[in-house]
Chain A
Amino acid sequence: MTRTQLIRAWHITLKDIRTYYLKPPLISWGILLPAVFILAFYLRAPGDIHTVAPGLIGLTVLFGATSVEAVVIAFEKRTGGLERLLMAPLAPEALLVAKAASGAIFGIVTGTVVWLLSTVAWSLPLAYGAPLLVIMLGSVTFSLLGVLISLVMREVFDAMTVSNLLRFPMIFLSGVFVPIAGLALPLQVVASLLPLSYTVDALRHLLLGGSQTFYPLWLDLAVSASFAIALYATALALLRRRLEDLL
């Protein structure tokens, strides 16, 4: 992708941030829902909440990044905003990067806020800022997952519903609340297929000193990066195939 295309993609991302970050579906699914989970865990066991901090950060990143995509793609399909982008001299790669970046940045911001608040509130280690890298990797991965779902859905509501079919099983099977080691073997196999498992596991390494982890840290990072690459390739192929359906 050329520098010109990247600059155009960045302008789209900035437009999406200005236009959609305060849309009600994004506030309810991307901010309020993670906040409710955090509050519920805090009220249930204020003393132990730091043990689920990695899971809550992962959950925040997952819901934030995927919810943005439902808005910036499915919503723009309906309003014709996406057609404007397709009318412009913009390569499909640039369009994909632009849209995925809107979701990734939202995930990075909300995930980082939860991480830093957890660090201040429960004296979790900063780990030289390494959790930020994990949050970034997770945000990109989940944002691309959101792109995939939103490309095939017509409405924001449909995209959110299908996203939830993936997101809710994921938060129960990816070690968010219950460590993967505590799951039955078949569920551990399922967990190994879910990208959130590696995000949460990596955060457990960095924030809880390796307690209740399931994979080595290098594997968490390698698999997260592989998920991001595979989802990018799949989303790009789908976008190319569906370009005419987006009009």
Chain B
Amino acid sequence: MYAVETRGLTRRYGQLVAVDHLDLALPRGELFAFLGPNGAGKTTTIRMLTGLIRPTEGTALIEGIDTARDPLATKALVGVVPERSNLYAELSARDNLIFAAQLYGLPRRLWRARADDLLARFGLSERADSPFATLSAGMKRRLTIAAALVHEPAILFLDEPTIGLDVHSARSLRALIRELNQGGVTVFLTTHLIAEAEQLAHRVGIIVRGRLIALDTPAGLRSRVQGESALELVTPDPGEELMAALGALPAVSSLSRSGDTLHLTVDSVDRALYEVAETTWRLGVRVLAIRSVTPSLEDAFVQLTHLDVEAMQGGTAPQRKGAPQ
């Protein structure tokens, strides 16, 4: 049995197809990232998976339970962190967690203990009595995740977990998500940040306009990128003589320079490495670094979706450059 499974999952709003025949299967313990631009259908998928909205067509299963038929059983099994940190502004950090424990029916003796344990685990003990409204954005996010873990769910859904956070808070939150997953929690997160999906996920599903267009490990997605390999050579003396010699090498098809770094497009990485090393040695050029440049997940994303990555990461509606393949 899968932790999360969808079969032909579809949701329409009038003429708009928000999620279009989605087929997914997540084994227990997986950290899965659902990557796509705003409005791609990520949140709608999470809402169907967590029993908040009903599918128009198809099935969503959590640990084998149909989320539309038994939303209450589904909700008891999962923890949900919505895009908006929506705990109660007037309640303290601790009281918010105690209220979450009450909502999930934990026995009274566990309320305070579980709340204090989570506050300590998420580095919020010193702000336990502060109203939620007075916490920083990073603290609010952490507390919202803590509230989703009060009932120790086996599956955690996070909708854009690091949105609106500064770099430091986002990094510490990613470490926390990784730690939760290593502790056995199946994690399903949505993100429009390619780097976040690449850093965190075992597998990445790319969704555009409601359709799942690719599903693989980050390495698997990168390997789909067609094209030539590349080398980067860093040297303090990238002179004309070196440029000419490298440009004439049989394995090098093109060459460009930015600052002290030379970018070489090559047919074969191992042959080019040998030829470049031999040339620099022969010319007596000092080499600071030489590295093979592999295609990034971003390259894979662009090739698969034909979307403008900068527009997507900036949170604006991405421009489609061509039809998806």
Q: What is the chain A residue whose CB lies nearest that of B83?
A: A80
Q: In the complex, which range does the number of interface residues on chain B fall in?
A: 20 to 34
Q: In the complex, are the beta carbons of A11 and B86 less than 8 A apart?
A: no
A242 at the interface (CB under 8 A from B): no
Question: What residues of B have a CB within 8 angstroms of the CB of A83 in the complex?
Answer: 82, 84, 86
State in angstroms the CA–CA spacing of A235 and B215 once bound together: 43
B102 touches which one: A8, A19, A84, A86 (CB < 8 A)? A8
Binary interface encoding of chain B residues 94-120 relative to chain A, with 1 for a CB under 8 A from any of its CBs, else 0:
000001101111000000000000000
Q: In the complex, are the beta carbons of A11 and B102 less than 8 A apart?
A: yes
Question: What residues of A have a CB within 8 angstroms of the CB of B104 in the complex?
Answer: 88-89
Q: A19-B88, A83-B82 are in contact. Are A91 and B72 (CB under 8 A)?
A: yes
Q: In the complex, are the beta carbons of B52 and A88 less than 8 A apart?
A: no
B191 to nearest A CB, angstroms? 20
Binary interface encoding of chain B residues 131-171 relative to chain A, with 1 for a CB under 8 A from any of its CBs, else 0:
00000000000000001000000000000000000000000
Question: What residues of B have a CB within 8 angstroms of the CB of A4 in the complex?
Answer: 105
Question: What residues of B have a CB within 8 angstroms of the CB of A244 in the complex?
Answer: 52-54
Question: What residues of B have a CB within 8 angstroms of the CB of A81 in the complex?
Answer: 86, 88
Question: What residues of A have a CB within 8 angstroms of the CB of B231 in the complex?
Answer: none
B230 to nearest A CB, angstroms? 46
B89 at the interface (CB under 8 A from A): yes
Question: What residues of B have a CB within 8 angstroms of the CB of A8 in the complex?
Answer: 102-103, 105
Binary interface encoding of chain B residues 183-199 relative to chain A, with 1 for a CB under 8 A from any of its CBs, else 0:
00000000000000000
Q: In the complex, are the beta carbons of A18 and B72 less than 8 A apart?
A: no
Q: A19-B88, A79-B89, A81-B88 are in contact. Are A12 and B103 (CB under 8 A)?
A: yes
Q: In the complex, which range does the number of interface residues on chain A fall in?
A: 20 to 34
Segment 74-88 of B: residues with Cβ below 8 Å from A: 75-76, 80, 82, 84, 86-88
B50 at the interface (CB under 8 A from A): yes
Segment 130-183 of A: residues with Cβ below 8 Å from B: none
A7 touches which one: B91, B99, B105 (CB < 8 A)? B105
Q: A88-B103, A89-B76, A89-B104 are in contact. Are A19 and B90 (CB under 8 A)?
A: yes
Q: In the complex, are the beta carbons of B103 and A18 less than 8 A apart?
A: no
A237 at the interface (CB under 8 A from B): no
Q: In the complex, are the beta carbons of A247 and B47 less than 8 A apart?
A: yes
State in angstroms the CA–CA spacing of A159 and B82 once bound together: 26
B75 touches which one: A18, A19, A88 (CB < 8 A)? A88
Q: A84-B86, A87-B75, A89-B105 are in contact. Are A15 and B91 (CB under 8 A)?
A: yes
Question: What residues of B have a CB within 8 angstroms of the CB of A88 in the complex?
Answer: 75, 100, 103-104
Question: What residues of A have a CB within 8 angstroms of the CB of B84 in the complex?
Answer: 80, 83
A19 to nearest B CB, angstroms? 5
B73 at the interface (CB under 8 A from A): yes
Q: A7-B105, A8-B102, A89-B104 are in contact. Are A19 and B91 (CB under 8 A)?
A: yes
Q: In the complex, are the beta carbons of A80 and B103 less than 8 A apart?
A: no
A126 at the interface (CB under 8 A from B): no
Question: What residues of A have a CB within 8 angstroms of the CB of B100 in the complex?
Answer: 88
Binary interface encoding of chain A residues 71-96 relative to chain B, with 1 for a CB under 8 A from any of its CBs, else 0:
00000000111011111111100000
Question: What residues of A have a CB within 8 angstroms of the CB of B82 in the complex?
Answer: 80, 83, 87
Q: In the complex, are the beta carbons of B47 and A11 less than 8 A apart?
A: no
Question: What residues of A have a CB within 8 angstroms of the CB of B147 in the complex?
Answer: 84
Q: In the complex, are the beta carbons of A15 and B88 less than 8 A apart?
A: yes
Q: In the complex, are the beta carbons of B91 and A87 less than 8 A apart?
A: no
B22 to nearest A CB, angstroms? 18
Q: What is the chain B residue whose CB lies nearest that of A90?
A: B103
Q: In the complex, are the beta carbons of A89 and B75 less than 8 A apart?
A: yes
Question: What residues of B have a CB within 8 angstroms of the CB of A87 in the complex?
Answer: 50, 52, 75, 80, 82
B287 to nearest A CB, angstroms? 55
Q: A4-B105, A86-B52, A87-B75 are in contact. Are A15 and B99 (CB under 8 A)?
A: yes
Q: In the complex, are the beta carbons of B80 and A18 less than 8 A apart?
A: no
Q: What is the chain A residue whose CB lies nearest that of B76?
A: A89
Q: What is the chain A residue whose CB lies nearest that of B82?
A: A83
A14 to nearest B CB, angstroms? 9
Question: What residues of A have a CB within 8 angstroms of the CB of B90 in the complex?
Answer: 18-19
Q: A19-B91, A79-B89, A87-B80 are in contact. Are A247 and B50 (CB under 8 A)?
A: no
Q: What is the chain A residue whose CB lies nearest that of B101?
A: A11
Q: List 25 A-B contacts (CB under 8 A).
A: A7-B105, A8-B102, A8-B105, A11-B103, A15-B88, A15-B91, A18-B91, A19-B91, A79-B89, A80-B86, A81-B88, A83-B82, A83-B84, A83-B86, A84-B87, A84-B147, A87-B75, A88-B75, A88-B104, A89-B75, A89-B76, A89-B104, A90-B72, A244-B52, A247-B53
Chain A residues near B (Cβ < 8 Å): 4, 7-8, 11-12, 15, 18-19, 79-81, 83-91, 244, 247
Nearest 10 pairs of A and B residues by beta carbon: A80-B86, A11-B102, A89-B75, A88-B103, A89-B76, A89-B72, A19-B90, A87-B80, A244-B53, A80-B84
